[in-house]
Amino acid sequence: MNLPASIKKITTKVPTCRSDQKTSDVREYLLKNMAKFETVNYIYVLTRSNRLKGVISIQELFSRSPDSHITVSYTHLTLPTKRIV
C-alpha cells in the first residue's frame, strides 16, 4: 500500500497512563520502559476505554509531587474533514 509520508510516521510506541495513576508510578513506568518508545516528549493520558483524555509533558510530570495523581484538562481532538496539502 502506498501511504503518504505523514501516515507512515504515526507510531503507537509512546508512553501512556491513566489519570487515576500516581505520578510516582508513571515516572517509574517511564524510566523502566524508555527504550521501548519512539518518542518520549509527552505522556498520553487515556480514559478507561483507551480514548485520549489529554497529554502531560515530561517536564510537568517530573515537577509534580510524587504522591499526586495525574491530572489533565479534557482535550477534544477532531480530525480535519479536508485533506491538507
pLDDT, tens only, 34-65: 999 988 889 999 988 888 888 999 998 999 99
Inter-CA distances, 65 with 19, 24, 60, 61, Å: 15, 8, 10, 9
Domain 12-63 indexed as CATH 3.90.1300.10: no
Please state whether the predicted TM-score (pTM) of the whole model is above 0.85.
no
pLDDT of residue 21: 93
Sign of CA dihedral 16, 27, 69, 54: negative
